[in-house]
Amino acid sequence: MRRRTGLLVGGAAAAAVAVGAGALAYDGGDAEGDRSERPPATATITRTDLVLSKTVDGKIDYARRRAVKSAVPGTVTVAAREGATVTRGQALYELDDKPVTLLYGPVPAFREMKVGARGSDVLELERNLVALGYGSGLYVDPRYDRATAAAVKRWQQSLNRTPTGKVGKGAVVFQPEQVKVVRADAALADQVGPDTAALTVASTKPVVRARLDQTDASLTAEGTKVEVALPSGTTRRGRVTGTVKPEGSGASDGAEDGITVEVTLDGGAPASGEDAKATASVKFVSESREDVLTVPVEAVVALRGANGGYGLQLVRGGTSRMVRVETGMTADGRIEVSGSGIREGLQVGVATE
């Protein structure tokens, strides 16, 4: 469901909107100040905030979803637990009765690590061993030496595994930080391998995902302000923090017709107890003007003549006079106006059908 409100108007565009909405066209040259009879309908100049926005449906989710595949073929003997938060040193799942352990780092585990190995993966391993409390006597560097092997043995003993001093391929998974298990892709006894997702993880940081049309690409820019009405009824402010490819998207499902954005709420997570399956209302704010004078769009008059421009028919008592104004932003049927003698509370003429 999509709801669009607001239109940014200025210059010639303002006249088109105003006249198209049934506003007056004053064919009196530049007769600003000329007095005439009171118009049949009036409205009040008000001071308010204008917001240009679009509202769409969204869902509570977690940032940076990605699949975790097994580096080696095997049988799942303990499946991942959906909804669990897994931190450094804990098992994501078990393969062939051995835990696949989460460690922190940006480089993936791509080989067996043993004495003589060198590389950034070794450096990551040693940093994790220190963080887990097994780094006594270990000099952290990219070399897998005897001190590294000794630290690995201490770690393996704590896991009730055979202390080989080697880290087998597929025994660990490196991720940048703790993860949320959003889906167990492989069930107990399933066969997995390098081409099979064992589970899907995400950041533990909650986000709200929403789908916009391609024509709303300007609203997908990082930092775009957002207001989210959560399923519980509470409203939170946030900002667009990125775009993502929807799961299962492809040319056949029309995914190319929309853009999925992730919104991070100010102050962190949504309120506890929110229903992740329920729909949230996401309002994207692309433009706003605070504390400005406004009138109904139908009150704006397109002035004809050498100077053109726009005016308002100010009403006092039984007469009225035309004054020139500058127009600005339009939203929800009201337009921003400014000019000499324009102030809150004055009455202006309004076009009628």
| pLDDT at residue 51 in the model | 86
Average pLDDT, the chain: 86
Instruction: Note the Cα 313 to chain centre separation in Å.
Output: 44
Average pLDDT over residues 37-52: 90
| pLDDT at residue 61 in the model | 86
- The third-level CATH classification (topology) of the domain covering 2-51+289-349 is 2.40.420
Amino acid at the residue 47: R
Please tell me the least confidently modeled range out of 31-45, 54-68, 71-85, 210-224: 31-45
The winner for highest mean pLDDT among 33-42, 100-109, 244-253, 267-276 is 100-109
State the Cα–Cα distance between residues 43 and 149, nearest whole angstrom: 82
Cβ contact 260:245 at 8 Å: yes
The winner for highest mean pLDDT among 2-6, 76-80, 279-283, 306-310 is 76-80
Q: Where are the domains of the chain?
A: 2-51+289-349, 55-63+205-287, 64-105+169-204, 111-164
pTM given for the model: 0.64
CATH number of this structure's domain 111-164: 1.10.101.10
Percent of the chain with pLDDT over 90: 63
Amino acid at the residue 21: A
Q: How confident is the model at residue 13 (pLDDT cuts 50, 70, 90)?
A: very low
Buried b (16+ CB within 10 A) or exposed e, 326-341: ebbbbbeebbbbeeee
| pLDDT at residue 7 in the model | 39
Percent of the chain with pLDDT over 70: 84
- CATH superfamily, domain at 55-63+205-287: Efflux pump adaptor protein, beta barrel domain (2.40.30.170)
136-185: pLDDT as tens digits? 989 999 999 999 999 999 999 998 889 999 999 999 999 999 999 999 99
- The third-level CATH classification (topology) of the domain covering 64-105+169-204 is OB fold (Dihydrolipoamide Acetyltransferase, E2P) (2.40.50)
